[in-house]
Amino acid sequence: MDRWDPIQLTSTFRPQLEPYETIQITQDQVGLYDGRLKAEEYPNGTVYLTSERLLYIDAKNPARKSIGLPLRLISGIHNYGGFMSSSPKITLELYTRGSIADPQSSSDLIASRDNTSTGMDASLGSLSLKSEPSWVCSICYHSNQGGVMKCAVCGVKKPAGSDTPTTPAADPFLLNEHLYINGVSSNSHSQTSLNAATGFVDVTSSDPGYGGGGGDHPGIACPACTFHNDPFMIQCEICGTQLQDAESVAFMLHRQQQHQRSISQLPSTIAPSGSTSTSANEGSSYFKDNSSTTSTLGKGIVSSISNLVYTRNSPTRDSSKTPTEDTNSVKLSFRAGGNGHFHSALKTAMATRAWESKPKPEVAKKPVPNSADSLTTSTLKLGGISAVMRKVETNRIETDQVLSQAFQDLQGLMDKAAEMVALAETISNRLAKSNIMDNEQTATFKTYLLSMGIAAPVTKDTAGAVFHKELARELVEFILPIVEREGGTMSLMDVYCVFNRARGVELISPKDLHTACTLFLDLNLPLRLRKFDSGLLVIQTMARYSDDEVSETISTRIRRLPPGAGLSAVELASAIQISVALAQEQLLMTEARGLICRDESVEGLKFFDNLFAKWEI
Amino acid sequence: MSNTSNAALGLGQSPALASGFQFPSIHNFPPFYTLQPTASTWKNQADLWSTIVIRYYRHHRLYLLDLDDSTITNEQLFNNLRINRKLKPETIQAIVDEMVKKGDAEWDATSKKRRAIIYWRKPEDWAAMISSWVFESGLNNSILTYYEIAHGDNSEDQEFYNIHPTVLQKSMDILVKRGVAATFQGANFEEMGVKFFRAGA
């Protein structure tokens, strides 16, 4: 539990997201387990899966008992379907504390590291300091630097599924196992090299009493095209090559032999097991996952991996569990179901690894220029206004490109939503700073920009059963400032239009909106749905704009009119920028309080100050 | 008619009518001609209307308000040409209803709320006025016809001159009940006789 951090909540008890962070799925009635024991503090809450974190918001005490776990700390996921009275659960295995599993922190070290290591000739000692994860090209086996997205030699893209570097020090599986074995946080292994692999094998085979860790493999790499397929695929999605072929059968046999061999080497902690057939599939897929890398690294690593696979899946696992292992796993208990969707969303989020593609701060990227570079840049550097002009021009072209890409199709727009919102914000900020705000057109434009702005709208897909609750919260967050600007009350129709415009493509139905609004009271949100006697539905802020205040404002407005002049609903609506229906309701409400009186004539219904009450006869 | 605080409310004062009657400026207030749906507002409005109706009827010595008589509804009392507003017959009916509740008017029982007598003086007041006139002019202990009271030469300068027959009958009924007078059946209403016995009531 100590791996979780307290999180920031919005006013409506939804999680405060980081920039570029999006909610993937939401599930309520989830309890947390710390290791194998129930976490008493966190019995029931709503769990949000974002692109970067797993967030738990307690149902009873959201302000204090809300915690988050960065996804990058998760090394593996197990799904348990539930049986009889036991709820379905998802177990999350966490990286050991102190391991360099944190890509953020490791990326900070990039600057201090030179890029000369090819892995083959790097010494063990120096590598213990060089913690930057590197990766091996699946085609030419060139060891690339971690930050490089394409192979420096052959230009093949970094494989998506195995985004994790194959460096033992940073590979989630290998590292974890390795640490369990040694019980210390040591990085004394070479990266992406035969040396490393063999070294690893030695350690593993010398003490294979490993029992924890384990995890979800990203998929089966196709032997032909290296595409990472879903583990359940029989043929490669891209090239159609057989995945579960004779090779895997051969591998299975081979692995069994290995197993026999390893058993003879093992200490007595591992009991012989007959469950090889059940673990065969997983073992083979795991093997295939790494096959592109390992196939050339010699049989040693193959055997070591197969050993690992076997031990991980063998029944000895439970017996070898240590107390430290328990604290390194977390269980989510899905009391109201929904674990299936959550599991797949979690897997997707883990595979996407959004936290790595997040734009890094400028400072980290800044290289230290050598003398030759600084010489060339200084000659090219333009000074003064021309540089500013060129900067502005470059920015304009970039903005144009973003805009044209975003509006090419709807999918594109959705993908670019976050960028578009950021763009809208910058433009409105710039407008706010500039002095030419008296221009009416600019003001109108600004209101358009302000009403854009829900980057990651709550959808039925992401929120599931809690859709309406989440929608209500999102609505309040979005609409509260607008309602206050509109004078504390907005008709539901107006809300519907404004809200859907801001949501962009993820439109909601009027029924969903109405249902969400009826939940305001239950969720203790600062807005209320109100039905006027005429049937008009409005939402209004709770305290600040009471009926008393509204009626007082209206009667004052009417009293200021020239003598003998009345105020109609249409006039009021245009004067204070509200809908006519709402203006009518407010006038009738004021009238019912005896502050104004009506005049029905051929000219329509107009309202006057209530002189009858003041007249002295 | 309107005092200073009313003038501050900013409604224009209408010129006096040919008869010398002056409407209060509230008469130029457009909402005055709409039945107010709010109960408290309507009560104030009906009070104002009944006051104006009584003043108007007293000034013009009128007794009967007949909704089926278009001259009544088109009269300046209920029809303000200056602001182009006019009371609807239903609203007048509602106003008279309020007046009946206060005893300022009475529906003619046979008219189904279409005709009403406006009591700008209460029947008791009329009774007292008539009896004092009778005793002052020494007509007690002799029989007077209703015609002599309402239209006689002796009563020409009295306020009850041309009094409405129904009002007269009501006043006489009050006097009979008090034992001040006795009525005698005549051939028609105007030939009805009344004899006053002694002074005071």
DSSP letters along A295-345, please? TTS-HHHHHHHHHHHHHHHSTHHHHT--HHHHHTEEEEEETT--HHHHHHH
Residue B79 has pLDDT above 80, yes or no: yes
Torsion of CA A608, A614, B2, B8, to 10 degrees: -70
Residue B173 three-state SS? helix
What is the CATH code for A5-95+328-357? 2.30.29.30
Residue A163 three-state SS? coil
Cβ of B185 under 8 Å from any chain A Cβ? no
**A611–B26: do the CB atoms touch at under 8 Å?**
yes
List, as one string, the DSSP characters of A90-154: EEEEEPPTTSS--HHHHHHTGGG--S---SSS--HHHHHH-----EE-TTT-PEEPTT-SB-TTT
Chain A CB contacts of B87 under 8 Å are: none
Which tops the pLDDT comparison, B23 or B186? B23
Amino acid at A289: D
User: How high is the pLDDT of residue B5?
Assistant: 52
Q: How confident is the model at residue A446 (pLDDT cuts 50, 70, 90)?
A: low
Evaluate the CA torsion angle A498, A499, A505, A510 in order and state its sign.
negative
Q: Nearest C-alpha of chain A: how many angstroms from B12?
A: 8
Quick one: how far is CA B47 from the chain centroid? 15
What is the CATH code for A483-609? 1.10.10.10
- Average pLDDT in the A120-148 region? 61
Chain A CB contacts of B48 under 8 Å are: 612, 615, 617
Pairing label, strands B79-80, A489-491: unpaired
User: How high is the pLDDT of residue B94?
Assistant: 92
Cβ of B138 under 8 Å from any chain A Cβ? no
**B33–A597: do the CB atoms touch at under 8 Å?**
no
Q: How confident is the model at residue A36 (pLDDT cuts 50, 70, 90)?
A: confident
Which residues numbered 50-69 in B keep a CB inside 8 Å of some CB on A?
A: 51
Q: Which of A340, A346, A255 is nearest to A303 (CA)?
A: A255
Contacts of A576 (CB under 8 A, 6+ apart): A487, A583
For B23, phi then psi, to 5°, come to -75, 145
Cβ of B88 under 8 Å from any chain A Cβ? no
Residue A444 has pLDDT above 70, yes or no: no
d(CA A429, CA A439): 16
Asked if residues B32 and B45 have their Cβ atoms less than 8 Å apart, the reply is yes
User: How high is the pLDDT of residue B42?
Assistant: 92
d(CA A196, CA A188): 9
Domain A5-95+328-357 matches domain A483-609 at the CATH topology level: no
For A235, phi then psi, to 5°, come to -115, 155
- Average pLDDT in the B76-84 region? 85
Domains of chain B: 4-118 (1.10.10.570), 123-196 (1.10.10.10)
Lowest mean pLDDT among A245-254, A296-305, A439-448, B165-174: A296-305
Asked if residues A171 and A151 have their Cβ atoms less than 8 Å apart, the reply is no
* Residue bearing tokens 């539905």: A537
What tens digit of pLDDT does each residue of A575-588 get? 887 878 888 888 88
Chain B CB contacts of A594 under 8 Å are: 38, 40-41
Asked if residues A32 and A331 have their Cβ atoms less than 8 Å apart, the reply is yes
Which tops the pLDDT comparison, A501 or A408? A501
Which tops the pLDDT comparison, A368 or B25? B25
- Average pLDDT in the A282-293 region? 44
Q: Which of A600, A614, A604, A595 is nearest to A557 (CA)?
A: A595
User: How high is the pLDDT of residue A306?
Assistant: 46
Q: Which of B59, B46, B50 is nearest to B17 (CA)?
A: B59
Cβ of A608 under 8 Å from any chain B Cβ? yes
Q: Nearest C-alpha of chain B: how many angstroms from A571?
A: 18
**A612–B26: do the CB atoms touch at under 8 Å?**
yes
Domain range annotation of chain A: 5-95+328-357, 103-321, 483-609
When the pLDDT of each residue in chain A is averaged and rounded to a whole number, the result is 68
Residue A26 has pLDDT above 50, yes or no: yes
Residue B154 three-state SS? coil
User: How high is the pLDDT of residue A158?
Assistant: 75
Residue A379 has pLDDT above 70, yes or no: no
Q: How confident is the model at residue B183 (pLDDT cuts 50, 70, 90)?
A: confident
User: How high is the pLDDT of residue A301?
Assistant: 46
HSE of B120 in the Cβ direction (CA atoms, 13 Å)?
A: 19
Asked if residues B21 and B30 have their Cβ atoms less than 8 Å apart, the reply is no
Q: Which tokens is A355 given?
A: 């936290």
Residue A604 has pLDDT above 80, yes or no: yes
User: How high is the pLDDT of residue A255?
Assistant: 60
List, as one string, the DSSP characters of A199-228: HHHHHHHH-----S-------EEPTTT--E
* Most confident stretch, A59-68, B51-60, B71-80, B136-145: B51-60
User: How high is the pLDDT of residue A218?
Assistant: 59
Q: Residue A83 gets which letter from DSSP?
A: B
Q: Which residue from B minimizes the CA distance to A592?
A: B38
Chain B CB contacts of A598 under 8 Å are: 31, 34, 36-37
Query: Which of the residues A568, A612, A616 would you substitute to probe the B interface, choosing the one with the greatest number of B C-beta atoms within 10 Å?
Result: A612
Q: How confident is the model at residue B36 (pLDDT cuts 50, 70, 90)?
A: very high
Residue A383 has pLDDT above 50, yes or no: yes
Residue B125 has pLDDT above 60, yes or no: yes
**By percentage, how much of chain A surpasses pLDDT 90?**
1
Residue A365 has pLDDT above 60, yes or no: no
For B143, phi then psi, to 5°, come to -90, 130
- Average pLDDT in the A373-383 region? 52
Contacts of A232 (CB under 8 A, 6+ apart): none
Q: How confident is the model at residue A355 (pLDDT cuts 50, 70, 90)?
A: confident
